[in-house]
Structure 1
Amino acid sequence: MSAFTQTFAPISIADIPAMAADRKASGWRFVQVLAVNTENGIDLVYSFMKDGALENFKVEGVTKDDVVPSITGEFLAAFVFENEAHDLFGVNIKDIAIDFGGNFYALSQKEPMTIISPAQLAAREKAKKLAAAKAAKEAKAAAGEGASEASESSKAADMEAKLAAMDPEKAAKVRAAMEAKARKAAAQAADDAKGGE
């Protein structure tokens, strides 16, 4: 069995028709269109093979508003992959030679491959909260507040960042414990003040 080489090249949506026409004219065989859900949208990878070389062309960050041209005019077999990208990922592919109009798969949920799990959602929200807490901490430090105020606010921001990263139930318990400790310290300080009179 002979080995093959593989390359990846970035392309834009506008370059897809010319890329497909060039692959066809040069005698390349269509292999697949792969769709992947990413943080920045859907990535599409178009793969072609010839003489032991596998070429992959990657379009990154396709959104639901983007219109992607079909390559079925050059490679009819792509209709399967393009219908799949439409049904499972919501990619708006126009002029598919054999277009199932969203019925290629019998789905109970629209665009199931773009749905994020509760764990993914929690991780994204946690990252946002941490970034917000860090930004608040940096803003307070940049504002040039007094050293003790900056130190106290820095500690408070650090604690809020830690709490934001916790499970909400656990964070509520920690906050309640911190409030109880603060009340106890205030009561102790009041008692000490009365005793010193």
Structure 2
Amino acid sequence: MALEIEFAPLSVEELPALAAEKKAEGARFVQLLAVNTEEGIDLVYTFMKGGVLTNHEIKGVGPDMTVPSITDQFLAAFVFENEAHDLFGVSISDIAIDFGGNFYALSQKEPMTIISPEQKAAREKAKKLAAAKAAKERQAAATAAQAEYLAGHPDAQAGSKPRGPIEPSGSDDLDARLAGVDPEKVARVKAALAAKAKKAAKAEAAAKESALEEKLAGMDPEKAAKVRAAMEAKAAREAAAQKEGE
């Protein structure tokens, strides 16, 4: 009898019910395959019964998603689920035998990704375009916020022409432009601008970290581990120096 192979789409929410159904009908769990794609991690759950091999695919699992374990139905799946977590960074909850990220002794904590030079160039270009778009949107939002504020506060614009986007709180220019405005309103404006500046700085730091991780992912694992160790040591020294200066 020839082996039949079937493929079917599957969602994260449907996974527990599928596992229970396969267990009830006497199917055998064969494997869990993880595949790294541009959209995220694809998970393929394979079951077999009566010479029919069925593959159920969950597409594009991202770092913010959690996949439920099927070890309550098929205990053997714990090996595959720990592997998907350690090697591909997939978050899987309630694994019956959970190694907590120590199923493999890895030289780096983050999952490894091998991409072609073309893929790397395309990703870097996409990141630059996204960063430029975000900067443009922030500039437009700042300009709009300034226009809205000045429209509702004639005293703030009397005797002066509107200039560029409001600078972060604490600048002499901002203090001069808000002179004469109700102190409570000034405090709210400055607090909002400070929060916005902090958010922008955080986003910039995240973008730099993401770019660095992309670069390290393409390195030899041993070399990448050394780079990470050197960076962590430098951060520790800077933190210690800052603490001493306080």
Q: Which bin holds the TM-score, normalised by the shorter protein?
A: 0.5 to 0.7
Contact 1:87 / 1:105 at 8 angstroms: preserved in 2?
yes
CA positional deviation for 1:125: 3.8
1:190 match: none
Deviations 1:9-32 (A, max 9, x none): 101100000000000000000000
2:75 match: 76
Deviations 1:105-150 (A, max 9, x none): 00011233346455531243467889xxxxxxxxxxxxxxxxxxxx
1:193 match: none
2:56 match: 57
1:66 match: 65
Taking structure 2 as the reference length, the TM-score comes to 0.49
Deviations 1:42-64 (A, max 9, x none): 00000000110000100001011
2:16 match: 17
1:43 match: 42
Q: Distance in 1 between matches of 2:98 and 2:116?
A: 30
Q: Distance in 2 between matches of 1:76 and 1:31?
A: 12
Deviations 1:80-106 (A, max 9, x none): 000000000000000000000000000
SS of alignment partner, residue 58 of structure 1? strand
The change in CA–CA distance for 1:110 and 1:117 in structure 2 (over 3 A counts) is farther
Q: Distance in 2 between matches of 1:94 and 1:117?
A: 32
SS of alignment partner, residue 112 of structure 1? coil
Q: Distance in 1 between matches of 2:115 and 2:5?
A: 31
**Pairwise mapping of residues 45-194 of structure 1 onto structure 2 (< 5 A)?**
45-114=44-113, 116=115, 118-125=117-124
Q: Distance in 2 between matches of 1:27 and 1:111?
A: 37
Structure having the higher strand fraction is 1
Q: Distance in 2 between matches of 1:107 and 1:71?
A: 25
1:147 match: none
CA positional deviation for 1:34: 0.4
1:33 match: 32
Structure number with bigger Rg: 1
Contact 1:88 / 1:114 at 8 angstroms: preserved in 2?
no
- Report the AA paired with residue 10 of structure 1: P
Runs of 4 or more above 2 Å deviation? 110-120, 123-130
Q: Distance in 2 between matches of 1:54 and 1:11?
A: 15
The change in CA–CA distance for 1:128 and 1:95 in structure 2 (over 3 A counts) is closer
Report how many aligned residue pairs link the two structures: 129
Q: Distance in 2 between matches of 1:125 and 1:65?
A: 22
The change in CA–CA distance for 1:109 and 1:3 in structure 2 (over 3 A counts) is same
Q: Distance in 2 between matches of 1:112 and 1:30?
A: 25
Structural RMSD (CA): 2.0
Q: Distance in 2 between matches of 1:70 and 1:62?
A: 14
Contact 1:66 / 1:92 at 8 angstroms: preserved in 2?
yes
SS of alignment partner, residue 110 of structure 1? coil
Deviations 1:144-190 (A, max 9, x none): xxxxxxxxxxxxxxxxxxxxxxxxxxxxxxxxxxxxxxxxxxxxxxx
SS of alignment partner, residue 86 of structure 1? helix
